[in-house]
Amino acid sequence: MRAARLALAVVASAVFVSMGAAAIHDVSKAWDVWYYHMPFAARIAGLVDARTYTFSATNEVRFAGFPLFAEALQGLAWRLTGRPESANLVAFASVPILAFALRRGWGVPLPVAFLAFVAIPCVMIQATSSYVDLFANALAAVLVLGAFRLVVTRAAPTLRELVLLALAAAGAANSKFQIVPVVVLSALVVAARALAHRPRRGLRALVLVGALPLVLATPLKNTVVHGNPVWPVELRVLGASLPSVETAYGSSPDWLEDVPRPARFVASVLELRAHPLTERRWSIDQWTPPGDPTYRMGGFFGAYVVVNVAGLALAVARRRSREAKVAGAFALGLTAVVSVLPQSHELRYYMVWMLVLVALNLVLWAREAEVAVGVVALASLAIVAYATGGTYLWPSGDSFASLVASKVDRSLVERAPKGTRVCLAREPWTFLYAPRFHPGATWTVLEAVKDEDCPRP
């Protein structure tokens, strides 16, 4: 048993170091990264200003309204290191944060927790990228698990714990609009436990009051400035449409167009009609052509989902302890909430569901069956690594310099007159033409959605 634990620790350490190297070396090449995550991060950090690189009208309103805490951290990492690749470290830090939370709260071994989380395809892929879904969802999972612990123990949170949970809630809610409902409901549970006990109730109430404007900073700001908490995205309240600039995003595979959201969610987590493991099954955003039956579907590995659901159900049925019963209730409650949210079948938006499901199983099983749980996680990780060619587990991609070299039209750069304003529509690579990335450049760039948006000479 001791040898098996040591082996799990060695494997987890090797995977952690290898993925960390990938996060530091490989520049993320996903569409959203260069379309708006990195441009927003650069402007927030003062690396590229609005004069030298002017956003399109679409991205300007998104910059003004989207929650940008994760991009602010990406920009900070970039500025401190001088390397755009360092923006990946925000997502990479998400898994250790969640693993440490489980270690501190329940004594779950770090190696087993790390392996169990990176065995989730969406987590493995996003952990070495500059997407923000994993970061926001990991913080939301920390909050949900904090609420779970308080309900199980019937205890009030300590002031330190309450502050940490408030920071997790604020980080999640100000990084991703889609996760706000989960944050709010979990925060209400934490608040109820905080106010249920008399000793130091006033201090806990003070922390809650102080945390409220931080947690809801982006929706409150948007409501005051634009009259819509999720501006610039369309939102209807009681039949009335609030001010907006763009319609709410909505898409699904053809075979699920007329199916209710919960059914789509179940089909997605079970990966019904998924491609074989030998084909391209998982990607950073699960994009496939719109006519594909797996369009925007899957990402949790259906077999791994089934194993974790079965493990949780078995714990509830066999143990009948308060901890197991509350875990089951939390899993059902989270499922009920997430499954009805917009685009619930696009699982990268709602990784909190799978992160919490895995975490609850770790809480219930890892302390008494550490090796068995570790082997299950390792088996899933191996299958996911095989299906993805191991691409996300080691440094295998481009550096930022090689990305610029491959995606920028050098002839266009060389033709650009000095001191002029260049209008370009090269999405998602337009940002790579910013003068900061071309020593000696004096031009400025106006980002366009399409060539027709550029003013005629």
pTM: 0.96
Residue 368: both structure tokens together: 């008494």
Per-residue pLDDT 10s for the chain (457 aa) are 789 899 999 999 999 999 999 999 999 999 999 999 999 999 999 999 999 999 999 999 999 999 999 999 999 999 999 999 999 999 999 999 999 999 999 999 999 999 999 999 999 999 999 999 999 999 999 999 999 999 999 999 999 999 999 999 999 999 999 999 999 999 999 999 999 988 889 999 999 999 999 999 999 999 999 999 999 999 988 888 999 999 988 889 999 999 999 999 999 999 999 999 998 899 999 999 988 999 999 999 999 999 999 999 999 999 889 999 999 999 999 999 999 999 999 999 999 999 999 999 999 999 889 999 999 999 999 999 999 999 999 999 899 999 999 999 988 888 888 889 999 999 999 999 999 999 988 899 999 988 777 877 6
Q: 445: which strand partners?
A: 53, 422
Side chain identity at 314, as an amino acid letter? L
Q: Which residues of 333-368 are buried (b: 16+ CB within 10 A; e: fewer)?
A: ebbebbbebebbbbbbbbbbbbbbbbbbbbbbbbee
Give me the residue spans of the domains in the chain: 2-227+297-393, 411-452
Question: Residue 220: which region, alpha, beta or left (left: phi > 0; alpha: psi -120 to 50)?
Answer: alpha
- Are 152 and 323 in contact by the 8 Å Cβ rule? The answer is yes
Phi and psi torsions of 233, nearest 5°: -85, 145
